Structure 1
């Protein structure tokens, strides 16, 4: 009986031991199988990524890059068109009506200078004014008014002014203020007629000009800033005046013109004097005005492209 129990226990231990080994083997097989499946799954994902997804993504990137380039090109084109659109049409007018941009030189400290300027030249009186200036050894500036006139006499008079060493500048072709100041285009058209006449008569392009009625008047408030900008873009310099002789007033006497002009000159270091080429009273007083100024140390000059202009404050 005791021996049978011992055999039974031994057999039971052997059976349980074999069962444990079998379970362990099954567990290992399951782990290996699951690992293999996972490995295959990972491999499949990697294969799909490199074979299918990445080329598609690269293609998409290329498309995006192309679209971006096209967009940038379109934006650049739009910008160019916009710049061309913003260019004022009058800038394309009169392609030969340009002069070089030059640096302006102001009066030196303590300098005493006088710029005599004659509006509405030439006229029948111009020859007499030129004679006085030559006798006094003085140079001046004449601003030309054509009055729709382009005949040979006018050209000869302009050439004579130039040949005497004086400066010839543009004033106006017509005093129809409402027309010439209606737009930049209108002003350029008026300016071009005088510009061409002076260039033909002297062989040189005029570089200085004066606005008819001055840069600030009752007719150009809406257009003057654009006109000035365009004229300066083309290289021209405009000059107003610091001293009005008063000779445009038909009631002014010779003595009044003398007193006004001399007093104004002596009270300033630099004077830009406005005179009328047609005034007989000015012609009469001109020698005395020049002599009195010289006695007080003043030098007379003609304007050129480098002369720093005296200009009025433009309207806001």
Structure 2
């Protein structure tokens, strides 16, 4: 009986440690098992990337106007199904000179999915991005930042970088409900080479993020920062 209890305890402990390890790997911002991952670029220059996830939606013009007025180029990680639903909005992003990235087709978490599912999600979105006229490199950002083994394997095989972030104010419930708190968080945590993640193309709390964008841009510019697309920021960094 004691031997059985010991074996059970060891087995349970092993399972728990394995699950904890998988959880940490799934959510790791600065590590994945295959290929290149970037959460922040190593540079002493005061350069940052402003990135927006999800969409496009009928609210896309709101953020494009702010970016045009402030003369800032950003990177939009879009969903393929939303591009299909709002192709003119996606074309507007391209025509304004911004960078497009791949945020999967359906915005499902890319964990515990088959290789063919992952392949389909990414390639359908790449195709949708090309159809709206975008010709630059297409980087990838996983929904909710989740990844395990097959997603990084696919990305590495196709020479795609995983673009994460080091500043995400509107993902924190205590910050997301206030444009002032969103702005303050960015202002207090900004560093050279930062990648800022915001959600600005929906109603509800995302409108707080939209309202924070212009203040973020003006304040960081006053601090001597300039804004680049993710591709430009990657070129600015050192190994």
Q: Does residue 168 in structure 1 map to residue 100 in structure 2?
A: yes
Match of 1:273, SS state, is: strand
Alignment partner for residue 295 of structure 1, among 222, 231, 234?
222
Deviation (angstroms), 1:148: 6.6
- Calculate the TM-score normalised by the size of structure 1: 0.55
Is the CA contact (8 Å cut-off) linking 1:240 and 1:309 kept in structure 2?
A: no
Deviation (angstroms), 1:306: 7.8
For 1:152-167, list aligned pairs within 5 A. Answer: 154-167=86-99
Deviation (angstroms), 1:282: 1.1
Match of 2:194, SS state, is: strand
CA distance in 2 between counterparts of 1:229 and 1:110 reads: 28
Higher relative contact order (CA 8 A, sep 6+): 2
For 1:32-51, list aligned pairs within 5 A. Answer: none
Deviation (angstroms), 1:296: 0.5
C-alpha offsets along residues 275-310 of structure 1, whole Å, 9 cap, x if unaligned?
013310011111111111001100001122882599
Which runs of 4 or more aligned residues in structure 1 lie more than 4 Å from their structure 2 counterparts after TM superposition?
Answer: 106-109
The residue that corresponds to 2:55 in the other structure is: 121
The residue that corresponds to 1:284 in the other structure is: 211
Alignment partner for residue 183 of structure 1, among 114, 124, 130?
114
Q: Does residue 253 in structure 1 map to residue 187 in structure 2?
A: no
| Cα 1:175–1:109 shift into 2, 3 Å | closer
Match of 1:226, SS state, is: helix
CA distance in 1 between counterparts of 2:90 and 2:67 reads: 16
Alignment partner for residue 158 of structure 2, among 219, 225, 231?
231
Deviation (angstroms), 1:205: 5.9
| Cα 1:249–1:147 shift into 2, 3 Å | farther
| Cα 1:111–1:281 shift into 2, 3 Å | same
For 1:1-316, list aligned pairs within 5 A. Answer: 110-147=44-81, 150-151=84-85, 154-177=86-109, 181-202=112-133, 204=135, 206-214=137-145, 217=146, 220-232=147-159, 236-247=160-171, 249=173, 252-265=177-190, 268-277=191-200, 278=202, 279-304=206-231, 307=234
Could you say what the CA RMSD is over the residues aligned between the two structures, in angstroms? Answer: 2.8
Is the CA contact (8 Å cut-off) linking 2:74 and 2:229 kept in structure 1?
A: yes
Q: Which moved more, 1:248-257 or 1:279-288?
A: 248-257
Q: Across the two proteins, how many residue pairs are aligned to each other?
A: 194
Deviation (angstroms), 1:114: 1.4
- Calculate the TM-score normalised by the size of structure 2: 0.72
| Cα 1:205–1:297 shift into 2, 3 Å | closer
Is the CA contact (8 Å cut-off) linking 1:247 and 1:282 kept in structure 2?
A: no
CA distance in 1 between counterparts of 2:41 and 2:142 reads: 23
